[in-house]
Structure 1
Amino acid sequence: MKDRVEKNQPDYITDWKVTIMETWMGLDQNYIDSLVETLSISTKEHDFTMNQTPEAVSCPPMKPLLDEPELITTMDTERELLGRITCLRDEEFWFCGIYRYIFLLNLQGKLIKSFTTKSKNRPEDIAVTRSGDLVYTDPGKRTVNKVENDQIQEVIRLQGWIPNYVCSTFSGDFLVTMVSDDYKQSKVVRYSGSTEKQTIQFDSEGTPLYSSCSSVSENRNLDICVAVAGAVVVVNQAGKLRFRYTGHPSTTKKSFSPSGITKDSQSQILTADWNNHCIHIIDQDGQFLGYIDNCNLKDPWGLCVDTRDNLFVLEFSSGKVKKIKYM
């Protein structure tokens, strides 16, 4: 495991900095910068107000990365070609893959429940809301659906766009990645229920941010992290590009191919690099921290982290889930 590196300062400046400097003259500049990140910021460019939640801005005790990550246990789902895993509880997990059903297993591999999608189509992605309800995307029907009390209800239906990946945010919104009907454009859209609140598609120069999205996650600092073809693209809550991570020379013997993406209590970003059979760990500013490649990973795809910062890695080809301690 590589040593931590010093974090860069945020690459964005807001009008709040001016207000802070005028109000608290004489404060250390670094302290002012740190305050900027935790305040509510409004942006006219995206017409979206950034409101931090207490859970998102809380600072848990620092946990150092282990020099050698430890494989705690391996669970066999007895199903191959699974791409998505999400934690319901610390030892219960929802899964989906190339099939039309979604199922819940405990850490011992025991089936708790399963159901078939309403349309009988294959789900592309799954997520769990803060209240514990399951959400899944149905590209065939162009819908995002929620499962509440074992009842499937359509939440979002798109026209001209196909939904791919979804995550539930700290505020209770949904972030949905989608591709246009002609597969030439991609974007991330924020929804409150069925109401569209924000669209993120281009950087400040009008260049598309995303192509071939494969996963989306919201970090604890409310950055939006998206795995795309050959990179992890991170924007702040207002949709402004913060950085692109394109791999690290020590890990990418083959081309960097991120698939699943998640975050932990330290706001570290973890992404599965299936082409190099390892997990990359970067900090919230895009600095490479280390990687996990010693747990005999093969085709790692889906990722999730439990409340104790244990990492669960779903292998696409084998359907096995590996529980790894890395902090």
Structure 2
Amino acid sequence: MDPQNADQKVPRCDLCEENVAQMYCSFCPTNLCKLCVGEHISDVYSKHNVVPLNMRKSTLLYPHCKIHSEEHCETLCEDCNIPVCSKCVASIRHERHQFVCLKALVNFKKKCMEKEKMQLQETIISSLKEIVSDLKSELGGIDGKYEKLTSDVTKHGEDWHREIDMAIIKRQTEIQEMRDKHKDTLTKQLNVIEKLISDVKESISKIEKVLHSNELLESLSFEIGSDESIKFPPKLNVKLPGFTPQNIQGQCLQLFSILSPLSITSEEHGYTIKTPRNLSSPPVKPLLDIPKVIITIETGYGDVYHITCFSDEEFFTHGDDKTIRLYNIEGKLLKSIQTKSENEPADITVIRRGDVVYSDAGTRTVNIVKNRKIDEVIRLYDWIPHNICSISCGDLLVFMSTEDKQKSKVVRYSDFKEKQSFQVDDQGKPLYSIGNLKHISENRNLDICVADNGAKAVVVVNQTGKLRFRYTGHPSRAKKSFDPVGISTDSQAQILIAECDNNCILVLDRDGKFLRYIDNCDLLYPWGVCVDKGDNLFVAESSGKVKKIKYI
């Protein structure tokens, strides 16, 4: 062993940087040799907690308070979603806020991570390994199958005269080329699957690293995903070429034989995940029995129509004028953006890199705002853009209708170029009603959810545009018209719909099952809705107010 490398693995004292560390201060945190312990605690500060180095991992490392640097944060403020110390808890800044034990929260999250690790190991990895096994088995049998084809051609060729030898050679060459293409395609597919396995194992490794870490902030910042975020490659459907011998009646290649072409097609969702029966589903955050309004903000609009979260602390809105406004959760106006055409925006969204995008029905354009400069990125001629939504992959969804409002569709743009459109279902019937009020949101499972006010329904299609379900209201409110306007989704893939005339928010699960109403928060004509990363609901009311509601 290289002495230099061996020496680098031995932890050194952070004070003298020479002696081997034998102790550890879990408050600072600092590695110490025994000679430097006295110097480290010489300030007689009571918070120092020096333990033997081998006990380091058993000591929880609470984050330091950003306001009171001498204090550790053992509590999380649920309203502000930040760690706080005991002094912060007692301060006016957090008056009447709700708090939760940081250690308990991290323990819960680590349990979730354990379940996700199990999910990755026992479902994703096992499914991918089964695919690899099938591909290797298919690769192993390819030579035999193609050898039989070659043998059949050769045997048939023996019955022919010398003048057709070139035809035999040509057919054999075609078979070899198809075999090589077949093997090359399967090998590439095998490499993709093995790379995917490697990526999943890397995710497991990252989870294990966080699970064994005592850094609470590292655990809190870890974003938990699910097996739905693992995108399998398209499944290959291979149709082997076939050799059909012909009667010996001539000297041309066509009479010698018919060789069908090699057919390789892909099936986007051909692979499935096999979930063990004893593996439970990822934990779901429960809905509060009584949702509560955390804060109410006056926007200055007469009516607020749309809202989109810029961060957990800030949100963009637009209402009954030509201005898009950015507020923080304390109600302070941070920025105002006037539309280029001075028309009222049809809708607004924030794309992945943080820029604001808005649609302008008057100019038939979609525009992006960068550093207060407005650029046109989409211009339509036969269609008028209305509601828009940025989705997880970075693409943009635009609902549009014809000028006579007799046709409507949702179009997906990638880099502001049309990529996909959803207009009719499998039977050729229109997915959406005529009219221009269709708020859009992408769900966590990549479904596209549209609040179709004209149809009095919520229309949900999968990412390929296949209709999953239509929701037309809860039977208990049959006497009231279902009035969907704004729509958003949360981290649990729950769908939240603003019912304007009924002054409430409807909550559905990802499959359209009714979960509850949020109707106790004194909502007045709720129109736009969005959900931040902490699953706080923002509601834009036609009264000109925005309310932040805690419902999970």
TM-score (norm 1): 0.82
Q: Compared with structure 1, are the counterparts of its residues 72 and 269 closer, same or farther at alpha carbon in structure 2 (3 Å cutoff)? A: same
Contact 2:228/2:445 (CA < 8 Å) preserved in 1?
no
Question: Paired residue for 1:215?
Answer: 439
Structure 2, unmatched stretches of 5+, are 1-127, 135-225, 236-265, 270-280
Letter in 2 for 1:65: L
- In 2 relative to 1, CA 142–40 (structure 1 residues): closer, same or farther, beyond 3 Å? farther
Instruction: Indicate yes or no: 2:325 matched with 1:100.
Output: no
Q: Is 1:243 aligned to 2:475, yes or no?
A: no
1:142 matched to 2:395: no
Give the counterpart of 1:300 among 526, 529, 537: 526
1:1-327 alignment runs, 5 A limit: 39-40=231-232, 61-211=283-433, 212=435, 213-229=437-453, 230-251=456-477, 253-316=479-542, 318-327=543-552
Over the residues paired in the alignment, what is the CA RMSD in angstroms? 2.6
Q: CA deviation at 1:131?
A: 1.0
| 1:193 positional shift | 2.1
Change (3 A) 1:196 1:286: same
CA distance in 1, matches of 2:422, 2:384: 15
- Give the distance between the partners of 1:20 and 1:311, measured in 2 at CA: 41
Task: State how far apart, in whole Å, the 2-side matches of 1:235 and 1:115 are.
Answer: 33
Distance 2:362 2:132 in 1: 54
Distance 1:60 1:84 in 2: 32
Shift of the alpha carbon at 1:194? Answer: 2.4
Assess if the C-alpha contact under 8 Å between 1:283 and 1:289 holds in 2. yes
Provide the rounded CA distance (Å) in 1 between the counterparts of 2:481 and 2:535: 28
Tell me, in whole angstroms, the C-alpha distance in 1 between the residues paired with 2:424 and 2:359: 23
Is the CA contact 1:99–1:122 (under 8 Å) kept in the aligned structure 2?
yes
Structure (1 or 2) with the greater helix fraction? 2
Instruction: Report the 3-state secondary structure (helix = DSSP H, G, I; strand = E; otherwise coil) of the residue aligned with 1:93.
Output: strand
Distance 1:184 1:21, change over 3 A: farther
User: Whole-Å Cα distance in 1 between the matches of residues 528 and 350 of structure 2?
Assistant: 14
Distance 2:360 2:478 in 1: 32
CA distance in 1, matches of 2:267, 2:324: 34
Query: SS where residue 476 of structure 2 aligns?
Result: coil
* CA 37–146 in structure 1, closer or farther in 2 if over 3 Å, else same: closer
Identity within the alignment, %: 56
Amino acid at match of 2:387: Y
TM-score, L = length of structure 2: 0.50
Does the C-alpha gap of structure 1 residues 35 and 304 become closer, same or farther in structure 2, counting only changes over 3 Å? closer
4+ residue segments displaced more than 3 Å: 19-25, 34-43, 47-50
Larger radius of gyration: 2
Q: CA deviation at 1:71?
A: 1.6
Tell me the CA shift for residue 40 of structure 1: 4.2
Instruction: Give SS of 2:310's match.
Output: strand
Provide closer, same or farther for how the CA distance between residues 323 and 37 of structure 1 changes in structure 2, counting only shifts above 3 A.
Answer: closer
Q: Mark the CA change 1:21 to 1:239 in structure 2 (over 3 Å): closer, same or farther.
A: farther
- Distance in 1 (CA, whole Å) between partners of 2:352 and 2:267 is 22
Higher relative contact order structure (alpha carbons within 8 Å, sequence separation ≥ 6) = 1
Contact 2:396–2:416 (Cα < 8 Å) also in 1: no
Amino acid at match of 1:304: C
Amino acid of the residue matched to residue 64 of structure 1? P
- 1:226-262 per-position Cα deviation (integer Å, ceiling 9, x unaligned): 0102011000000000000111123454200100000
Deviation at 1:98, TM superposition (A): 2.2
- Are residues 35 and 92 of structure 1, via their aligned partners in 2, closer, same or farther at CA, if it must alter by over 3 Å? closer
What's the offset of the Cα at 1:214? 2.4
Q: SS where residue 374 of structure 2 aligns?
A: strand
Using the alignment, how far apart are the partners of 1:123 and 1:152 within structure 2? Answer: 13
| Bigger mean CA deviation after superposition, 171-180 or 252-261 | 252-261
Q: CA 1:48 to 1:178, structure 2 compared with 1: closer, same or farther past 3 Å?
A: farther
Match of 1:9?
A: none
Matching residue of 1:11: none
Check whether the contact 1:280–1:291 (CA below 8 A) recurs between aligned residues: yes
Moved more, 251-260 or 109-118: 251-260
Residue 250 of structure 1 aligns to a residue whose secondary structure is: helix
Aligned to 1:6: none
Between the aligned partners of 1:114 and 1:160, the Cα distance in structure 2 is 31
Contact residue 251 and residue 276 of structure 1 kept, 8 A: no
How far off its partner does 1:206 sit? 0.4
Q: Which has the higher strand share?
A: 1
Deviations 1:117-168 (A, max 9, x none): 0011110100001111100000000000011122111110001100001011
CA–CA separation in structure 2 for the residues paired with 1:109 and 1:151: 25
Unmatched 5+ residue regions in structure 1? 1-18, 26-33, 51-58
